[in-house]
Chains A and B, each alone.
Chain A
Amino acid sequence: MASIDQYLSIFADCRALIDAGSNAAMNARRDEAARLLARQGLPTLRTERYRYCDVEQALSPDYGLNLQRHLPAADPYRTYRCGVPTLATTALRYVVNDSPAPAALSAPALPEGLTVCSLAEAAQRCPDLMERYYHRAAAEGADSLAALNAMLAQDGILVHAAPGTTIADPIQIVQVMAATRPLMANRRLLVVAEAGATLPLLLCDHATSPCATLATHVTEVYAEDGARIDLYRVEETNAAHTRLAGLYARIGASATLRYHDVTLTCGLTRTTADIVLDAPGAHVTADGAVVADGYQKADHNLLIDHRAPECTSDLYYKYVLDDHATGAYAGRVLVRPGAQHTQSEQTNANMCAATTAHAWSQPMLEIYADDVRCNHGSSTGKLDDAALFYMQQRGIPEAEARLLLRHAFINDVLQRIALDPLRERLSYLVEKRFRGHLDACGSCAMCSGKH
């Protein structure tokens, strides 16, 4: 049986149960998603955007689903205690497997104009907003994995900033996968910054279970006119975890999205990012840092869709791959007719620290406007022997020299993070990672005092 069939039959058999555990806004979009999925099936290795990601294999195990919405027994705010020594946050929310945990009782009140709540709550409190945004950007790309998620997901989180709201410290959302038997979680995140709002957001993805787990993620990001969204994602999942994610963003006139994606550890992690520059003066920067070893696999596939004039995009992704790790990067910058004065930069650089590591790199430019400035570049190499020897001559042991070189290579990406404490924290975590001191220990390394 093809993987797709087990999911379609679950949907057909358990539709009532799925709906009952969800909300009207999400239920309203399931049929359309199921139809798309049934029609086009799952991507294969021949599907252009999935050439290095075997979705069929990733989805073939028989994972359990939590359709009846059992909440995990443990209180994540206690289990994953956050010391917050360096990072001030405006709000902290946990998602355990596929369930948003209610805010801690001690959580401070949210600032005026900011909403952070479950999608179930959002469907009740602001149905219009759900109607306007939920599964709109995500549906557009007709991606089978986004459809699979929309068909099965039952809850998620909404982060909404009202017009003109300025949030200084990030809202942190920690998504934890903790299961005692194979489990699939379908997660949704809806981020909306209304006109002129400023919204920083930090997502931490964790998986600690020794048993096989799978998470599908669909994150929709809407930056309305003049808004600014800073989205940071840090992944510390484990070898038993598969993460299939979609990031769908729409950026309005003179609005900005800054996206930073750091993978410290993973099993298989895949991100499809479709970012639409929808109106004049929209800006996006996206950068990624991947550290992978063992048999870890990290695959980023980006589409930057320049639909309006005077927009800019700037992509910067770097991978350090060791052992048998695989890194795949594809970035397609599409400049549509009429998108004059587009400025676009794209760089992908990879360092293979072992001859058994693989890097696939595919930066692409597709231009249908005649007055644009676009660059793209790619490089893949190994550690610089000359630099290594120079350091050894100065007395730095080889292992330490290798560490410093790899750290420097990745740290270069982190320099693009404007938030000082976060940048320093990440730089420190990357160093720990290279020293082998970063283990999947069950607490959030972004904020726990233990690390």
Chain B
Amino acid sequence: MLQITNLHAAVEGKEILKGVNLTIADGEVHVLMGPNGSGKSTLSHVLVGNPKYEVTEGTITFNGKDLLAMSPEDRSHEGLFMSFQAPIEIPGVSMTNFLRAAVNAKRKYFGQEPLPATDFLRMLREKRKLVGLDAHFMSRGVNEGFSGGERKRNEIFQMAVLEPLFSILDETDSGLDVDALRIVAEGFNMLRNERTSAMVITHYQRMLDYLRPDFVHVLVNGRIVREGDASLGYAIEEKGFDWIKNEAEAAAAAQNR
């Protein structure tokens, strides 16, 4: 599904990603861990085409297409979704209108007619139940007056509506209490199938418990320095990142010698 090769990216002239290689196949869930500032969010934003992030080198192929050549909205239509670490508030644009615009833009991209209003509203109702989001949120502005937990739940709700092939969860678990985390994770799991994949950024073991990822990658200083299965995640939970950092530095030093 996704192939990232030698990816370098910068923000405001400062290089953050320094050669990331990552391949994610259909149906796989990958967890990305790493200390603060290692480039996890940068990688997410580069994937979805945030114009603030500049790709200086490397390629990204998404289902055979050159992702970097696509606009953010086309990436979305092709099946890329990001659950934002800090979902944006858009006062005055109701959830319903926002999602109608999104759903119909995607349909237009694939040459389909807009979804009839009754079908659209029925679909919203079904997806809302999946994540336990109350109906009154639909007439509010996007994330307007939503609590932290409601915003995260809203991200998963939008994911359910848009049915992406590849989802990025950027610390969707942060700021959630145990119950909210369970609802979000269960919602995510319900949307999973053999055709969809995900990249999940998290610091928490609880998320590993819920998601049972296929692979765990550790990003340090803009490079993936260690990869493994879920047990790597639990090891980090127990021992922190320092031992990996030290190993990575030792390896780099050995290479330079």
Contacts and interface: CB of A to CB of B under 8 A. Distances in A.
A and B form one complex: yes
Contact of A390 (B49, B51, B84): B84
Interface stretch (A153-161, A251-259, A404-412): A404-412
A436 interface: no
B105 A390 contact: no
B88 A387 contact: yes
Interface in B29-78: 48-51, 71-73, 76-77
A408 B51 contact: no
B76 A404 contact: no
Interface in B63-103: 71-73, 76-77, 81-82, 84, 87-93, 97-99, 101-103
Nearest to B143: A390
Interface in B146-174: 158, 162
A396 B73 contact: yes
A417 B142 CA distance: 22
A408 B87 contact: no
A404 B142 CA distance: 12
A411 B162 CA distance: 27
A392 B73 CA distance: 5
Given A404-B98, A411-B92, A412-B91, A394 B162 contact: yes
A123 to B, nearest CB: 47
A386 B92 contact: no
Contacts of A387: 88-90
A397 interface: yes
Contacts of A398: 71, 73
B170 to A, nearest CB: 11
Contacts of A394: 76, 98-99, 102, 158, 162
A407 B91 CA distance: 11
Given A396-B73, A397-B73, A389 B101 contact: no
Contacts of B76: 392-395
Interface residues of A, number: 21
A contacts with B: majority SS: helix
A389 B90 contact: no
Contacts of A412: 91-92
B132 interface: no
Nearest to B97: A404
A400 interface: yes
A87 interface: no
A396 B92 contact: no
B90 A396 contact: no
B141 interface: yes
Contacts of B77: 395
Contact of B72 (A393, A400, A407, A408): A393
B82 A393 contact: yes
Contacts of B49: 392-393
A247 interface: no
Contacts of B162: 394-395
A397 B105 contact: yes
B74 to A, nearest CB: 8
Contact of A386 (B73, B88, B97, B158): B88
Interface in A367-403: 384, 386-387, 389-398, 400
Contact of B101 (A384, A400, A411): A400
Interface centre among B51, B90, B162 (most CB of A within 10 A): B90
Contact of B71 (A384, A386, A392, A405): A392
Nearest to A399: B73
Given A390-B88, A394-B76, A408-B91, A400 B97 contact: no
B41 to A, nearest CB: 14
A395 B90 contact: no
Nearest to A392: B72
B87 to A, nearest CB: 7
Given A396-B73, A404-B98, A408-B141, A391 B92 contact: no
Interface string A83-125: 0000000000000000000000000000000000000000000
Contacts of A409: 92
B75 to A, nearest CB: 8
27 contacts: A387-B89, A390-B84, A390-B87, A390-B142, A391-B98, A392-B73, A393-B48, A393-B49, A393-B76, A394-B76, A394-B102, A395-B77, A395-B103, A395-B105, A395-B106, A395-B109, A396-B101, A396-B102, A396-B105, A400-B101, A400-B105, A404-B98, A405-B90, A408-B91, A408-B92, A408-B93, A409-B92
Given A389-B51, A395-B77, A396-B105, 4 more contacts: A393-B49, A393-B81, A404-B98, A405-B93
